[in-house]
Structures are given as structure tokens and as C-alpha cells.
Amino acid sequence: MSLNRLDKIIALNCNVSRKEARELVKSGKVKVNGNIVLRSEELVDSSADSINVNGFEFASKNHIVIMMNKPDGVITATKDDNKKTVIDLIPDNLMRRSLFPCGRLDKNTEGLLIITDDGELCHRIVSPSHHVYKTYIATLTRPLDSKAIASLENGVVLSDGTQCLPARINYYKDDYGYCCKIKIREGKYHQVKRMFLAVGNHVDKLKRTAIGALKLDESLKPGECREMTRDEIELLFGEDG
């Protein structure tokens, strides 16, 4: 049995925010096991209780959501005749036929990748309109000057004329060299690498460290993965730190 707050379950299953879920409950539009429930804090077992929102009954979909520390050299795809894919790395106990990677990391990009069989959840993570920031650490060839930082923060224009949304930038130098923590909420093709190219720099190494408020579990070695908890799924839609 897995008890969770009613507003949390509704938000996760109905593609609405926690606030919208609370409003639905408050307005009497939610029934649990046939009875109207007006308290969002009510603890419900979504795998056993029937939940009806606005006349629509949803059963717990029993989807699986997996966190992977994607290694360098593996492609983000479900299937490939020649190259190893992230799905090839899933151990038997987590394997499902309909698993797919949520968003895309380049072959040489490492770090946090979500793999799931839940299409709705994936849409909420990748769609820019849902404002889920993805955090990357880019190791750069050259220092980043203030003009380049301002340009990235204001929304850089890529070489093909594509306008990017404003990024959040934290530039620093450490033992690894010139590093930049960059947060973006879009997922255009090679976006981070192209953003740095547009300001005259080059990404030598790229790692995704967080999605929303969910950080990569650094105890996962590259190539390892594990199922995520409900709380971790919720963090995907939390304010990034």
C-alpha cells in the first residue's frame, strides 16, 4: 500500500499543478471511492482507491519511472542495430516493453536521464511551457566573459537564427577548468553546445545534473539506474535549487 496526499496524486495523474489539484478538491469535484472529499491532505492509496476527478475516473496507471546516470558513448534511443542504447542498459527487473527515454542527451553527454513508459509525464518534463529547468555542467574550452554571460542570460540567437529562451548561468573556474552551470527549459537539438558556440566558446564535456528540483543520485555509477520514488517524481516539477 502506498498512501499519498490526494492533491499530489491528482497533480501527478491529471497533468495539473498541485495548486490546481487543491482547487479541484476544494470545489467538490473529486470523489474517492464514490464519496466527495474536500480535504487535499486526505491520504489515499492510488493503487487501491478509486479516484474520480470531474467525472473522470482514473486508476493508478502503475507506470514506471527510472533515473539513469547516462554514460558517455551510449545513444539516447530505444533501439539501434549497431550502437548501444540507454534501453540496453536497463536491468531485467526494471525492463518493460514500452520504455522510452524522456528527452534526449547526446551520445557524449553524461548524467541524469529519465526513462519511463508514462507519455504524459514525459510531456510535462520536456515541454518548455511547463517551465521545468534542466541543469547542465558544461566544461568549456575558453573562459566565458561577461558579454557572453549576458547574451546567454538574455536568450542567445543560434547560428541558424533560432532564438533561445533566457538561460540561468553560473560561471566558475575549478580544477577541471572553465565550468558553467547552465539551466535551460528547452531541449533543442544540441542546444547547450550550440548556445556556447553562438557566444564564441566550445563545450568540451557536458553533464546533466538536475531536472527541476530533482538532482542526479551521484551514488549511481555511469550506466546504472534505479526506479524513482513518488517524492522524486514530484521533485521534477519543483523549483530548481
Shortest distance, position 109 Cβ to ligand URA, whole Å: 3
Compute the distance between CA of residue 215 and CA of residue 140 in angstroms, rounded to an integer. Answer: 22
Nearer to ligand URA, 180 or 206 (CB): 206
Residues 181-220, one symbol each (x = binds ligand URA by CB under 6 A, - = not), give: ---------xxxx------------x--------------
Residue of 72, 106, 117, 217 marked catalytic: 106
Shortest distance, position 192 Cβ to ligand URA, whole Å: 3
Contact 131, 185 (CB under 8 A): yes
Q: Which residue from 46, 109, 116, 151 is in contact with ligand URA, where contact means CB under 6 A?
A: 109
Q: Which residue from 106, 120, 224, 232 is in contact with ligand URA, where contact means CB under 6 A?
A: 106
For the question of residue 175 being annotated catalytic, the response is no
Shortest distance, position 156 Cβ to ligand URA, whole Å: 13
Of 36-95, binders to ligand URA (CB under 6 A) are none
Residue partners of 39: CB distance under 8 A and separation at least 6:
6, 25
Nearer to ligand URA, 121 or 206 (CB): 206
SS3 call for 123: helix
DSSP strands (E only) in 71-189: 100-102, 109-116, 134-140, 168-174, 177-184
Calculate the alpha carbon distances from 241 to 195, 211, 237 in Å.
Answer: 22, 10, 12
Contact call for residue 105 and ligand URA (CB under 6 A): yes
Contact 203, 140 (CB under 8 A): yes
Shortest distance, position 90 Cβ to ligand URA, whole Å: 19
Cβ contacts of 71-77, under 8 Å, gap ≥ 24 = 71/110, 71/222, 71/223, 72/107, 72/108, 72/109, 72/110, 72/222, 73/107, 73/108, 74/107, 74/223, 75/107, 76/101, 76/103, 76/104, 76/105, 76/106, 76/107, 76/113, 77/101
Contact call for residue 9 and ligand URA (CB under 6 A): no
Question: How many other CB atoms are there within 10 angstroms of residue 16's CB atom?
Answer: 17
Shortest distance, position 131 Cβ to ligand URA, whole Å: 17
Nearer to ligand URA, 29 or 205 (CB): 205
Nearer to ligand URA, 181 or 190 (CB): 190
Which amino acids are annotated catalytic? 106
Which residues contact ligand URA (rule: CB under 6 A)? 105-106, 109, 190-193, 206
